[in-house]
Structure 1
C-alpha cells in the first residue's frame, strides 16, 4: 500500500473561530481580560476580527443569533495559569470549572466569555 499524499503536506497555524453576538463587546473582553490585540478586521460594519497574543490567535465572527454550546470552544495553554485565573476572578469572568490539578498532567480551568463560549485553559504540570 502506498503512503497517502497527506504525509507530504505540512500544516501551519490553526486558530479557533468563535461566533459572537456583539463583536465589539467580544473584542473589549478579549483585549481587556486576556490582553489580545486586534491584528485584522473586515466589513463595514465589522463582522470579522482576528485577535492575537503571543502564539495564540482567535477569529471572531459576528452572529447576532449565536447560542452558546455546552462543550469547550477551544483549549489554550498558558505559562502562568494561576495569574490568569486570578485576573479572570477579579474581573468577574464566569468560571465554569475552577482551577485545579488534573490527573492528565495539567493544571486547568474553564471560563466563559460574554457570549457563553467556553474556553479551556491549561498549563502542563
Structure 2
C-alpha cells in the first residue's frame, strides 16, 4: 500500500470535538477559566462552537444527553503545565491524574472539564 502522502493528500488542522450538555456553561468555562476566544458559532440555539487560544483549538458540540467517557478525549501541550494545574485546582476541577514528571519526557496531568471530558495536559521536560 502506498503512503497517503504519495497521493498528494496534505493534512491541515485537526481539533478535538468535545460534547457538552450546556453550551453557555461550557463556553463560560473555556473562555473565562482557560482564556479561549470564540471564533465561530452555529445554530439557534447554538449547537456548535469553535474556540481558539494561541495554537489550541476546541470544537464544542451540544449533546444534552452526553455521558462522559472514562478515557482522555484530548491532549493539550502547554508551556507552563504547573500554572495550568494551579488554575484547575483554583477552580475546583476534578484532577484525574496528578501532576508529575513522566518517564516519556513530559510533565503532565489529566483534568475533567465541567462536562466530564478528560483532557491530558503536558509540557516537555
Give me the TM-score of the superposition, normalised by structure 2.
0.95
Tell me the residue number matched to 1:66: 66
Tell me the residue number matched to 2:98: 98
For the pair 1:23 / 2:23, whether they are aligned, the reply is: yes
Give 1:93 deviation, angstroms. 1.1
Query: Helix, strand or coil for the counterpart of 1:14?
Result: coil
Give 1:6 deviation, angstroms. 4.0
Structure 1 pair 96/4, CA: closer, same or farther in 2 (3 Å)?
closer
Query: Helix, strand or coil for the counterpart of 2:14?
Result: coil
Provide the alpha-carbon RMSD of the alignment.
1.2
For the pair 1:89 / 2:61, whether they are aligned, the reply is: no
Deviations along 1:53-104, whole A, 9 cap, x unmatched? 0000000000000000001011010001111111111111111111000011
**Alpha-carbon distance in 2 for matches of 1:29, 1:96:** 18
Aligned residues: 124
What runs of 5+ residues in structure 2 fail to find an aligned partner? none
Give runs of ≥4 in structure 1 deviating > 2 Å.
Answer: 3-8
For the pair 1:114 / 2:92, whether they are aligned, the reply is: no
Tell me the residue number matched to 1:80: 80
Give 1:33 deviation, angstroms. 1.5
Tell me the residue number matched to 2:55: 55
